[in-house]
C-alpha cells in the first residue's frame, strides 16, 4: 500500500522532535474538516538568529481512502507511529501533542510547536521514519523533507548584515539602510571590527577568516540641509546716540543684492541681538547694513559682508558684528556583531581502510565520542545512525559528520567497504561409510577443502571425499583462495562398523521385508519371506548398538523395544553378504 503522499506531509510537521523544549501547542483545525482526511498547516521558513515559534495543527487519516482514493477496497489504518527523526536543523526544537496515534479509534488530531533560534542557514533535509499498521501488517518508510533556514540578517538603524553567523570563515555582506541618493554632504564611516575600515557608502563584502566575535561600528553624518543664519549680534557700533539709547535695525541682502531680511528697530545700546528666522544661505557673498533710526535722521552705522562659511567677528570701522550660522546635521550610529565559530575537527573513522568482507560478515566502523554524529553511505544519510559506532554489512563508501553545538559541521574522510561473495556450500552425501562432495562443479576456480569431525579438523582430509571412521558431526569447509571467503556444510553421519568405503555391501531394502507396527510403543515384528537364521542389529542414529544377535526368520520375529527411549532407530539385517536396513520410530 502506498502511504508516501500522506507521510511526506506529516513528516514536515514532525521533523523536529528532540526534547520537551517547546510545550503548549494548541490544536486549531479549520471547521467542517471531514473526519477521515489528511490535513496539515503550512510551517513558515526560519531565519538564522531570529527566534522561531509556531504551532502546526494536523489531522491523520483513518483509512487508505483518505491517502489514496485509487486503493480499492479501502483499508482501515489502525495505528500511525513516528519511529525516528534525524537531520534536524541545528537550534530548532519541537514538542508534539503525541507521537503514537490510535487512528482506528478515531485518534487523529494533534499539533506541534516549533521553537528555537536557528544556528545555520541552509536547505536541510530531515529524515523521518514512520510505521503504519494496516490489517496485520506494518509498513515502514523513510522520507527526505526539505526545511529552509534563511541567512541571518541583523537589522539596525543604519545598516544590516547578511551571513554574519558562520563556521570557520564568514564573508559578510553589508547593506546601508541610509542611502545618500546622490546628495552631497552624506559621509560614512565603517569599522568592521577586524582591523579594516571604510568610508564607502556601500562597502564591499568583508571576510572574517578567524573564529571570534567582531563588533561592527557604523556612523553616517547627514549634512544635506545647508547653512542657516539664525542670529545677528551688534557687538559694538560708533553710531550710538549721545543722549539716550540708539535705535538699531538691520537689512540683509543676498549675493544678487536683493533684500532677504529687514528687522524691527531695537532701542538699546550694544550688544544688540537680532533673531533671524533660519535664513538659508546659498553660495556667494551676503551683506548686512546696520543703521540707527535717529529721530532726526537715519544714521548709517556700517556694512559687513559674509558667506555661509564665515567665522568670527566682522568689522566695519567701529562696527563689530557677530553671526550665528548653523549647519544642522543628523548623525546615526549603529553597531552589529559578526560571529565566526571555530570549525570542528573532522572525525577519524577506524578502521580507515578495512579488508573486504565476505557476504554475511559485518565490520564495525567507529569514531571518537561526539555529542552529535550522523553517518552516510554513498552520500545518502543513514536514518537513526547517530552513535559513534556503525555496524556495516553492505558494500559502499561510508563517512561520518560531526555537528557542534554551534551548528558547525565537519565530515570525515571516506572509508570504502567491499563485500566479496561466498562460495557455494560444498554439499556431501553418504555411501558405505564414504562421504563425498556432490556438487564439485560449483566450487570456486581456486579453492581448498578441509573436513572436520566433531569440530576438529581431520588431518590430511582435504579432498573431495573421505572414509568415515566413527559416527559424529562432519563438516566440510571450502575456501576461495582468491577472496579468502568460506562456506561450510554440516551433517551428522552414522558409521557402520561392518561396512567399508566402496565395499560390496549394499544399503538397500529387500523386497518383501516388513516391520510393524511402525511407529511402535513396545514390540516390533519383523517379517522377511524366504529367510532362515539371520544376523540382526538395532542401533540408534549415533551408531550405538542397542541389541544384536541371531534370529530365526522362518516365522515372523518380534523384538521387545519397550525399554528404548523415544526416538528413531535402525534395524539392520545381514543376509547372504548383503546389508538391509529399515528405520522405525519408538513412541
Full residue range of the structural domain in which residue 29 is found = 4-150
Mean model confidence pLDDT for the chain? 83
Indicate whether 499 belongs to any domain: no
> Looking at residue 3, what is its pLDDT?
33
> For 484-521, how does the pLDDT look when each residue is reduced to its tens digit (9 = 90+)?
999 999 999 888 876 656 333 333 344 567 889 989 99
Q: For 88-92, 216-220, 419-423, which range has the lowest pLDDT when averaged over its residues?
A: 88-92
Whether residue 190 is found in the same domain as residue 292: no
> Looking at residue 314, what is its pLDDT?
96
pLDDT at 12 over 50: no
Integer Cα distance of 55 and 60 in angstroms = 16
Indicate whether 525 belongs to any domain: yes
pLDDT at 121 over 70: no
pLDDT at 210 over 90: yes
> For 359-369, how does the pLDDT look when each residue is reduced to its tens digit (9 = 90+)?
999 999 999 98
CATH of the domain at 455: 2.60.40
Buried b (16+ CB within 10 A) or exposed e, 214-253: bebebebebbeeebbbeebebebbebbeeeeebbbbbebb
CATH of the domain at 239: 2.60.40.150
Whether residue 118 is found in the same domain as residue 143: yes
Indicate whether 204 belongs to any domain: yes
Whether residue 178 is found in the same domain as residue 112: no
Integer Cα distance of 527 and 512 in angstroms = 8
Indicate whether 498 belongs to any domain: no
Indicate whether 293 belongs to any domain: yes
Whether residue 309 is found in the same domain as residue 399: no
State mean pLDDT over 94-108.
Answer: 84
State mean pLDDT over 319-329.
Answer: 87
State mean pLDDT over 446-459.
Answer: 94
Whether residue 118 is found in the same domain as residue 25: yes
CATH of the domain at 545: 2.60.40.3080
Whether residue 278 is found in the same domain as residue 379: no
Indicate whether 508 belongs to any domain: no
Indicate whether 338 belongs to any domain: no
> Looking at residue 17, what is its pLDDT?
36
Residue 130: pLDDT band with limits 50, 70, 90: low
> For 159-202, how does the pLDDT look when each residue is reduced to its tens digit (9 = 90+)?
999 999 999 999 999 999 989 988 888 999 999 999 999 999 99
Integer Cα distance of 265 and 191 in angstroms = 53
Whether residue 100 is found in the same domain as residue 235: no
Q: Which of 400, 420, 440 is the last residue of a domain?
A: 420
Of 60-74, 130-144, 245-259, 549-563, which one has max mean pLDDT? 245-259
Q: Count of domains in the chain?
A: 6
Of 45, 48, 53, nearest in space to 153 by CA: 48
Whether residue 94 is found in the same domain as residue 157: no
Indicate whether 9 belongs to any domain: yes
Cβ atoms of residues 251 and 259 within 8 Å: yes
Report CA Rg, the chain: 51
> Looking at residue 570, what is its pLDDT?
79
Q: Which of 169, 187, 222 is the last residue of a domain?
A: 222
Integer Cα distance of 4 and 67 in angstroms = 9
pLDDT at 15 over 50: no
State mean pLDDT over 277-300.
Answer: 86
> Looking at residue 18, what is its pLDDT?
34
Whether residue 15 is found in the same domain as residue 132: yes
Q: Which of 283, 299, 326 is the last residue of a domain?
A: 326
Q: For 88-92, 95-99, 225-229, 488-492, which range has the lowest pLDDT when averaged over its residues?
A: 88-92
pLDDT at 8 over 50: no
Whether residue 194 is found in the same domain as residue 183: yes
State mean pLDDT over 112-138.
Answer: 72
Cβ atoms of residues 281 and 229 within 8 Å: yes
Q: What are the distances in angstroms from CA 324 to CA 21, 136, 231, 282, 523?
A: 63, 94, 5, 15, 139
> Looking at residue 142, what is its pLDDT?
63
Whether residue 126 is found in the same domain as residue 160: no
Whether residue 378 is found in the same domain as residue 414: yes
> Looking at residue 489, what is its pLDDT?
94
Amino acid at each position: 500500500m502506498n502511504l508516501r503522499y500522506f507521510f511526506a506531509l506529516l513528516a514536515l510537521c514532525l521533523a523536529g522532535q528532540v526534547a520537551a523544549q517547546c510545550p503548549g501547542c494548541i490544536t486549531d483545525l479549520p471547521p467542517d474538516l471531514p473526519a477521515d482526511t489528511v490535513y496539515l498547516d503550512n510551517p513558515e521558513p526560519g531565519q538564522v538568529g531570529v527566534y522561531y515559534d509556531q504551532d502546526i495543527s494536523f489531522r491523520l487519516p483513518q483509512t487508505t481512502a483518505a491517502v489514496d482514493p485509487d486503493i480499492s477496497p479501502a483499508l482501515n489504518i489502525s495505528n500511525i507511529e513516528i519511529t525516528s527523526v534525524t537531520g534536524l536543523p541545528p537550534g530548532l526544537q519541537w514538542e508534539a501533542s503525541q507521537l503514537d496515534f490510535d487512528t482506528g479509534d478515531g485518534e487523529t488530531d494533534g499539533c506541534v510547536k516549533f521553537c528555537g533560534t536557528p544556528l545555520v542557514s541552509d536547505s536541510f533535509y530531515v529524515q523521518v521514519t514512520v510505521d503504519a499498521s494496516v490489517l496485520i501488517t506494518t509498513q515502514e518508510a523513510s522520507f527526505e523533507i526539505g526545511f529552509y533556514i534563511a541567512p541571518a540578517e541583523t537589522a539596525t538603524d543604519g545598516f544590516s548584515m547578511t551571513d554574519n553567523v558562520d563556521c570557520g570563515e564568514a564573508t559578510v555582506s553589508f547593506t546601508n539602510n541610509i542611502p545618500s541618493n546622490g546628495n552631497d554632504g552624506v559621509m560614512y564611516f565603517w569599522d568592521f571590527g577586524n582591523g579594516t575600515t571604510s568610508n564607502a557608502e556601500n562597502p564591499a563584502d568583508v571576510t572574517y577568516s578567524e573564529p571570534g566575535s567582531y563588533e561592527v561600528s557604523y556612523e553616517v553624518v547627514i549634512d544635506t540641509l545647508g547653512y542657516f543664519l539664525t542670529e545677528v549680534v551688534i557687538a559694538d557700533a560708533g553710531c550710538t546716540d549721545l543722549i539716550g539709547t540708539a535705535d538699531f535695525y538691520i537689512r540683509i541682502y543676498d549675493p544678487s543684492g536683493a533684500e532677504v531680511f529687514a528687522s524691527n528697530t531695537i532701542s538699546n545700546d550694544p550688544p544688540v541681538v537680532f533673531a533671524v528666522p533660519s535664513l538659508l544661505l546659498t553660495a556667494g557673498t551676503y551683506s548686512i547694513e546696520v543703521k540707527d533710526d535717529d529721530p532726526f535722521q537715519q544714521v548709517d552705522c556700517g556694512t559687513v559682508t559674509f558667506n555661509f562659511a564665515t567665522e568670527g567677528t566682522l568689522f566695519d570701522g567701529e562696527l563689530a558684528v557677530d553671526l550665528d550660522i548653523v549647519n544642522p546635521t543628523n548623525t546615526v550610529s549603529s553597531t552589529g556583531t559578526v560571529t565566526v565559530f571555530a570549525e570542528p575537527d573532522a572525525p577519524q573513522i577506524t578502521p580507515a581502510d578495512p579488508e573486504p568482507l565476505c557476504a554475511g560478515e559485518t565490520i564495525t566502523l567507529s569514531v571518537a565520542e561526539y555529542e552529535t554524529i550522523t553517518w552516510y553511505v554513498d552520500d545518502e544519510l543513514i536514518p537513526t545512525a547517530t552513535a559513534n559506532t556503525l555496524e556495516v554489512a553492505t558494500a559502499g563508501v561510508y563517512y561520518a559528520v560531526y555537528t557542534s553545538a554551534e551548528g558547525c559541521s565537519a565530515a570525515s574522510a571516506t572509508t570504502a567497504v567491499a563485500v566479496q561473495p561466498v562460495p557455494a556450500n560444498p554439499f556431501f552425501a553418504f555411501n558405505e561409510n564414504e562421504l563425498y562432495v556432490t556438487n564439485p562443479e560449483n566450487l570456486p576456480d581456486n579453492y581448498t577443502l578441509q573436513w572436520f569431525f566433531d569440530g576438529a579438523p581431520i588431518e590430511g582430509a582435504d579432498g573431495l571425499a573421505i572414509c568415515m571412521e566413527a559416527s559424529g558431526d562432519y563438516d566440510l569447509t571450502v575456501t576461495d583462495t582468491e577472496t579468502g571467503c568460506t562456506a561450510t556444510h554440516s551433517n551428522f553421519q552414522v558409521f557402520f562398523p561392518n561396512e567399508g568405503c566402496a565395499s560390496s555391501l549394499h544399503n538397500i531394502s529387500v523386497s518383501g521385508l516388513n516391520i510393524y507396527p511402525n511407529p511402535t510403543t513396545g514390540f516390533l515384528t519383523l517379517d522377511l519371506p524366504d529367510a532362515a537364521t539371520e544376523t540382526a542389529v538395532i542401533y540408534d542414529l549415533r551408531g550405538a548398538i542397542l541389541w544384536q544377535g541371531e534370529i530365526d526368520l522362518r516365522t515372523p520375529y518380534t523384538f521387545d523395544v519397550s525399554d528404548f527411549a523415544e526416538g528413531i532407530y535402525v534395524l539392520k539385517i545381514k543376509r547372504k553378504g548383503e546389508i538391509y536396513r529399515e528405520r522405525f520410530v519408538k513412541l
